[in-house]
């Protein structure tokens, strides 16, 4: 049987989620690389005064990469806990999760190039 709705329980859930985000950025080195790319993309967006639709693309790419990295981190931590010794299946699971992050990051980089290179070329003509 489900428990009754509680604002206090929802707030606790939100606090736990915020703690998870804090833990992720405090403990994962790759998170800092993604954060640096996030700062660069946002800085370029403000500098070139990109359109609202372009901001949606930037925000979507940032979110995609951060979420992929967080899920990858969870998978790695779970697999390390369940199987501290080396197993080929565990390695494949972790490699596939890391590959998902790479795909997301490449997509974000390509999107960033498509979005920002025209602004850069217009601002700094190389004739």
Task: Supply the pLDDT for residue 127.
Answer: 59
Written as six digits, the tokens of 71 are 């899920």
Q: Which residues are annotated as a binding site for a divalent metal cation?
A: 28, 76
Q: Indicate the length of the chain as a whole number.
A: 127
Task: Supply the pLDDT for residue 118.
Answer: 96
Q: Which residues are annotated as a binding site for substrate?
A: 69
Query: DSSP labels for 81-121?
Result: HH--S--HHHHHHHHHHHHHHHHHHHHHHHHHHHHHHHHHH
Cα atoms found within 13 Å of the Cα of residue 66, Cβ hemisphere only: 17
Which domains are seen in the chain, by residue range?
29-123 (1.10.287.3610)
Cα 110–30–120 angle (5° rounding)? 30
Q: Would you give per-residue pLDDT tens digits along the chain (127 residues)? A: 778 889 999 999 999 999 999 999 999 999 999 999 999 999 999 999 999 999 999 999 999 999 999 999 999 999 999 999 999 999 999 999 999 999 999 999 999 999 999 999 998 877 5
The catalytic site residues sit at 69
């Amino acid at each position: 049987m489900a428990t009754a709705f509680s604002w206090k329980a929802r707030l606790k859930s939100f606090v736990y989620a915020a703690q998870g985000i804090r833990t992720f950025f405090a403990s994962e080195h790759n998170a800092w690389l993604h954060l640096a790319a996030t700062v660069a993309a946002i800085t370029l967006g403000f500098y070139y005064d990109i359109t609202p639709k372009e901001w949606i693309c930037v925000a979507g790419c940032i979110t995609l990469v951060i979420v992929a990295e967080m899920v990858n981190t969870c998978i790695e931590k779970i697999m390390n806990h369940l199987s501290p010794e080396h197993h080929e299946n565990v390695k494949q699971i972790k490699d596939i999760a890391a590959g998902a992050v790479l795909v997301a990051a490449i997509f974000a980089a390509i999107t960033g190039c498509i979005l920002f290179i025209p602004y850069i070329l217009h601002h700094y003509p190389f004739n």
